[in-house]
């Protein structure tokens, strides 16, 4: 299984959808709350060039937003 990281905020609807998708498919992930963790927010912006969440990293692929088909493909689901 690939390493999965999600940069999210507590109030982001698409972040919740992504995490629910991961849980439903038994995908382990590391979550960073960029609303409260300024260092991780900076890291997310440097990696993605974006302020929007979620930013999901699967292996070496960066996905901005909840792109279910792309996520499922990268995870082999």
Tell me the pLDDT tens digit for each residue of 64-76. 999 999 999 999 9
> What is d(CA 50, CA 38) in angstroms, rounded to the nearest whole number?
14
Note the pLDDT tens digit of each residue in 2-47.
899 999 999 999 999 999 999 999 999 999 999 999 999 999 999 9
pTM above 0.85?
Answer: yes
Q: Determine the pLDDT at residue 23.
A: 97
Is beta strand 30-33 parallel, antiparallel or unpaired with respect to 4-8?
parallel
- Reply yes or no on whether the pLDDT at 1 is more than 80: no
Environment class of 18 (CB within 10 Å of its CB; exposed 0-12, middle 13-18, buried 19+): buried
**For the residues 45-64, what does the mean pLDDT come to?**
95
Please, which residues bridge with residue 57 across strands? 5, 62
DSSP state of 52: S
User: Domain 4-58 is classified in which CATH homologous superfamily?
Assistant: Glutaredoxin (3.40.30.10)
Rounded to an integer, what distance in angstroms lies between the CA atom of residue 41 and that of residue 19?
Answer: 18
């Amino acid at each position: 299984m690939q390493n999965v990281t999600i940069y999210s905020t507590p109030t982001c609807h698409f972040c919740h959808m992504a995490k629910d998708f991961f849980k439903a498919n038994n995908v382990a992930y590391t979550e960073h709350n960029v609303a409260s963790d300024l260092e991780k927010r900076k890291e997310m912006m440097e990696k993605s060039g974006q302020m929007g969440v979620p930013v999901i990293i699967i292996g070496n692929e960066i996905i901005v937003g909840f792109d279910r088909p792309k996520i499922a493909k990268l995870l082999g689901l």
